[in-house]
Amino acid sequence: MILLKCIRPDKITAAIQNFIVEKMGQKFIEPPTFNLQACFADSDNCTPLIFILSPGSDPIGSFMTYVEQSGMMSRFKTISLGSG
């Protein structure tokens, strides 16, 4: 991998991923699925849920589904940071 980094630095990420898959397994390079219900069970008024969004992610759909299923629709309000 050191030689590959010197010759083709653009291929080092794929080489590191292949090394991790060979030595440790595929589960160490795949992100886990997000379970909102389990996260909500771990939260309380002192440990709130904080969503850190990345480009292209939109958790509002799954969040709205969870709110409807848990019967909290009357207490739910959305605010967009760019809407004034």
Token digits for 39? Answer: 């996260």
Q: What is the pLDDT along the chain (84 residues), one digit of tens a residue?
A: 899 999 999 999 999 999 999 999 999 998 877 788 888 888 888 888 777 777 777 778 888 888 888 888 888 887 777 655
Residue-level pLDDT at 26 = 93
Sorted by where each begins, the domain ranges of the chain are 1-30, 31-84
Residue-level pLDDT at 13 = 93
- The CA distance from 68 to 74, in Å, is 9
- The CA distance from 60 to 82, in Å, is 16
